[in-house]
Structure 1
């Protein structure tokens, strides 16, 4: 399995690995990577140097959070950008209804075109807007490398249903961020865990900060 792109070919992992993560939607995942490597790069949503790392660094990294989302949940991806993590999560979990929330017009346009190209219109919705102005609540609120934890929670918590969860894909700073916010989280009656999850046993781990109400 390979994915064509303007400068050559994006190497893909073994088909068995893609199928382990995306099941019957493995071909759609490959099509999504192709879109990221072409239109995503051309429109400035993906850096040209990222094309060789799309599967592991972006798609599998995003799909890893899918296992933390409740069954049949309503999900919103805040600041979705190129559709990460929302589209990989939707592909990995066909039971979910996913909203891609993105304030910038060019990104929202890209997302709408991509969702249509992948045939996900029936359960993936693109909304152009800011989190602060969005008035719907969800079972799970996702974000990926969006902002430091305090600002992120300011955007995401109002979108979270009473029993819902915020799932923030973070980097190496996750432990430090949570430690620094211990008192602030306690005052808001919030519980935060730092988790290491994988899309499959063979993929790289993703660090996720999970926040829910106590």
Structure 2
């Protein structure tokens, strides 16, 4: 790492605790998740997937953060991850929910190539990669749940995502701590699409890692 980018003692301690807890936390998914994490550590910076500061905190900052959304997703059915990028959270979701079909939606060709390599290396037969922007797939498919991480403000994300959520499905996204500031603008968009009130959840994984903010929005079935 470059000068000034060395991890703090707290970061080192947190990452060590997160890595040590991973076998028990991830269970049957651990082997795949660990291989994915190692690939990110080895290649993520050079392939433009993560910044140099992130290499020494992949488990604590990215893998567990991605895993935090899994309890709020359906264990079966179709889940779409918009702007999948490095595969966060989509690859982690696919490893943890092997009975779900996971669609990784990503517009950049080089990132799609990475995702394809990871899918094949980890033998994630439940993953399909769709190259393009979310809006390009409106009308092409609907998912039981649509998720995203660090893609856009909630109002913009809702415009991108809700047409991909089937009636009776949910938008379940990872957001930052200041998400409350995004809610007023988002509510107008949500009403337009007939979606419900956004539910802000505090999702935890292990004690050593900070809780994650998850926003869940239902798209109710049309009245009979």
TM-score tier, shorter chain, comes to 0.7 to 0.9
Cα deviation per residue 1:127-180 (whole Å; 9 max; x = unaligned)?
111111111110010100100111101110111011111111110221121144
- Match status 1:193 vs 2:183: no
Return 5+ residue gaps in structure 2 as ranges: 1-5, 7-11
- Match status 1:68 vs 2:77: no
Q: Would you identify which runs of 4 or more consecutive aligned residues in structure 1 move more than 4 Å?
A: none
- Structure with more strand by fraction: 1
CA distance in 1, matches of 2:188, 2:136: 28
- Counterparts of 1:36-51 in structure 2 under 5 Å? 36-51=40-55
Query: Which residue, out of 148, 154, 158, partners 1:153?
Result: 158
Q: How has the CA–CA distance of structure 1 residues 13 and 126 changed in structure 2, closer, same or farther, with 3 Å as cutoff?
A: farther
Aligned twin of 2:171: 166
- Match status 1:175 vs 2:193: no
Aligned twin of 1:212: 218
CA RMSD of aligned residues (A): 2.0
Contact 1:169 1:206 in 2 (8 A): yes
Aligned twin of 2:132: 129
CA distance in 2, matches of 1:128, 1:165: 22
CA distance in 1, matches of 2:192, 2:214: 22
CA distance in 2, matches of 1:148, 1:17: 32
- Match status 1:141 vs 2:146: yes
Q: What is the total number of aligned residue pairs between the two structures?
A: 205
How many angstroms does 1:16 deviate by? 6.0
TM-score norm. by structure 2 comes to: 0.84
Return 5+ residue gaps in structure 1 as ranges: 1-6
- Match status 1:89 vs 2:93: yes
CA distance in 1, matches of 2:88, 2:133: 16
CA distance in 2, matches of 1:101, 1:57: 22
Query: Which residue, out of 101, 104, 108, partners 1:104?
Result: 108
Aligned twin of 1:80: 84
Q: How has the CA–CA distance of structure 1 residues 31 and 54 changed in structure 2, closer, same or farther, with 3 Å as cutoff?
A: same
How many angstroms does 1:114 deviate by? 0.9
Cα deviation per residue 1:9-48 (whole Å; 9 max; x = unaligned)?
x954366621233212212211111111112211111111
Query: Which residue, out of 20, 23, 30, partners 1:19?
Result: 23
